Amino acid sequence: MTMTGRKLNRRAFIKASAAATAATAVPTGWAIAQAKPLKVGLMLPYSGTFAQLGENITFAVEMLLAEKGGKLAGREVQFVKLDDESKPELGPQNAERLVKRDGVDVIIGTVHSGVQMGIHKVVKESGTLTIMPNAGNVALTRELCAKNVFRTSFSNWQPAYAMGVALGKRGVKKASWITWDYAAGTESGEGFKQGLEANGGQFVSLLTLKFPETNFQPLLAQIPGLGVDAIGSFFAGGGAVQFVKDYAAAGIKVPLVGSGFLTEGTLAAQGAAADGIETALHYGDGIDNAKNKAFRAAFKAKANREADVYAVQGYDAAQLLAVGLEAAKGNIEDEKALYAAMEQAKIDSPRGSITMSPQHNVIQDIYLRKVTNGENKVVSTIVSQLADPGTGCKM
Ligand code: PHB
C-alpha cells in the first residue's frame, strides 16, 4: 500500500504528536485525535434519478447519530456531503476530493455501482474506512474485496437470486430480465438466472438500455414475442417509476417481477400501475419488530415520508460504524479493534438481524413482497440468512 491520503496524514500526525509529547508529556497523539471531530464523508447522489435514495440514506445516518446523542464513541461527528450525481466518470475524482482535500476519516457511499468502483480504487489505496449503504457491485465483496470496505445493503446478486428461486419453485418455466446496461442491472440479471435455473426454470434473454435512459418502448414491444411466463427486472428511483407505469400502460399480459428496488420508495408515484407486482428484497412493509416500528416512526418524523430500504441501509451503515468505533474507543486508527468488531457485528436492523460475511457483505433474509394497497407487503421469506457467494475474495 502506498502512503497516500489518510496513511500519509496519519504518519505526519503521529510524528508531530510524538514531538509534542516529548516537549510537554501531554496530550498524546491519540488524545488529540479523540478531541477532533470524526469527519464522515457522505458521497451520495443528491441529484438525478437516484436523488431520493441518497437523501433517504443521509436522513437515516443523521437519525442514528441523533439517537446516539450527536456523538460516536464520544467523538463529535462532522459530515462532508458530496453529490456524486450517479456519474461513474466522476467517481474517482470525487472520492479523492473527500480523502485528500477534505481529509475524511470514513466514507459512507454510495448508491450507484459504477460510482462505487471509483470510490473503491481510491480507498483501496488510501486505506480509508468505507461503508457501502447501497451499491451492490458484486466484485467489491468478491475478487476486489478489501479489509477497509464493508457493505450494509446487499450484493446485486442477492435479491435477484431469491426472486429467481421463488419463480422456479412455483413452476415458472421461462423468464427474461429487463434492465439498465450497467453492473447493477446485469449482475442482478445473473443472480435471477442462477436462482431460476437452480429451481427448474429457464432463463431466456437479457434486454437492456443505457443508464439512466427511460425510453422503454422498444424493449416493451419485444416482450409478447419472447414466449416467457414472467419478466424480471431491475430499475430503481425515477427510472423504476417510469418503467412500471409504461409496463402497465402497454397492457402487457406477462407478469412483471423484480429485485425489490422496482417498487421501493416509488409506490406513491407509481400508483395503480404497481398493484400486485411481486418483488424480492431484504426489507418490506409490515416487518413486525420493535426496532422497525421505532425506526419507521422516527424516520417519518424526520423526513416527512415513509422509510424504505435505502433508509434502512443508511441507518445500518451508521450502526456498523458505531459498533467499530466504540470497540476502538473512538480511535479510528486502531484498525485491528475497528475491523474485528465490524466483522463480528450482529446488528439489530429494522429489516431483522444481520451479520457480516467474511468478505464484508451483509448476510440477511430475503423476503417476497407483493404490492397491496400501496405497500410492499411482505408475503414470506424466500431465503433465510442469504450470503453472497463471495467467490475470489482474498483479504
Ligand atoms: C446500484 O447501482 O448498485 C444500485 C442502484 C440503485 C438501487 C440498487 C442498486 O436501488
pLDDT tens by residue, 199-222: 999 999 999 999 999 999 999 999
> Per-block average pLDDT, block size 10, for the chain (395 residues)?
42 39 50 80 97 98 98 97 98 98 98 98 98 98 98 98 98 98 98 98 98 98 98 97 98 98 97 98 96 98 96 98 98 97 98 98 98 98 98 96
Per-residue confidence (pLDDT) for residue 219, from 0 to 100: 98
Specify the DSSP class assigned to residue 26: -
Instruction: Count the residues in the chain.
Output: 395
CA of 249 to the centre of ligand 1 (A): 25
For atom 2 of ligand 1, which residue has the closest CA?
112
Alpha-carbon distance values, 239 to 97, 269, 272, 370 (Å): 29, 11, 17, 20
CA distance 133 to 356: 14
Q: Of 257, 60, 46, 86, nearest to 184 (Cα)?
A: 86
Give the pocket of ligand 1 (CB within 6 Å).
50, 111-113, 134-137, 156, 184, 236, 261
Q: Which amino acid is at 117?
A: M
Q: What residue owns the CA closest to ligand 1's atom 6?
A: 236
Q: Are strands 230-234 and 174-180 parallel, antiparallel or unpaired?
A: parallel
Beta-carbon count within 10 A of 89 CB: 10
Q: pLDDT per residue over 19-49, tens digit each? A: 444 444 455 665 656 679 999 999 999 999 9
pTM given for the model:
0.93
Q: How many other CB atoms sit within 10 Å of the CB of residue 248?
A: 17
**359 Cα–ligand 1 center, Å:** 19
Ligand 1 center to residue 372 CA distance, Å?
Answer: 24
**Which residue carries 422456479 as its cell?**
168
Per-residue model confidence (pLDDT) at position 222: 98
What was the pLDDT predicted at 35? 74
Q: Which helix or strand (DSSP H or E) is residue 365 part of? A: strand 362-372
- Give the ligand 1 atom nearest the CA of 135: 3
Ligand 1 center–CA 261 separation, angstroms? 8
For helices 51-67 and 290-303, angle between their N-to-C axes, nearest 10 degrees: 110
How far CA 57 is from CA of 92, 150, 262, 305, in Å, comes to: 21, 16, 17, 13
